Amino acid sequence: MTRILTGALAAIFMSSVAFAATPATTTTHAAAKAVDNGARCTSLADQWKTAETANSTNANLGKAKADADKGSKLCASAKGGDHKKGAADYEAALKLLGVTPA
């Protein structure tokens, strides 16, 4: 009986150690972050198209277009870090038009 209990406890301990040592959690989190920035770029680009049309007479449209163009270029970049910067530029463009980014 003692051998069975000791064996079961050892198996539980070893499985929890193996689970804790798995580095996949960190890798998965980093990959998810990059995907989120790309998806954010896409969402903000769609919002920009709608806001640009709806605010065609807004005095800030010229500056907003410049920010949106910069955001578009950064979001199209192959570098994941640029996507975050591009999303920030799209957000700035929308705010200039009085639109709250969703």
Report whether pLDDT(102) > 80: yes
Report whether pLDDT(94) > 70: yes
Query: How many Å apart are CA 78 and CA 53, to the nearest integer?
Result: 28
Q: What are the C-alpha distances in Å from 29 to residues 10, 32, 45, 63?
A: 30, 5, 24, 35
pLDDT of residue 36: 83
pLDDT tens-digit profile of 1-57? Answer: 656 545 554 555 444 444 444 455 555 565 555 458 889 999 999 999 999 999 999
Q: What is the pTM of this model?
A: 0.66
- The pLDDT of 60-89, averaged and rounded, is 95
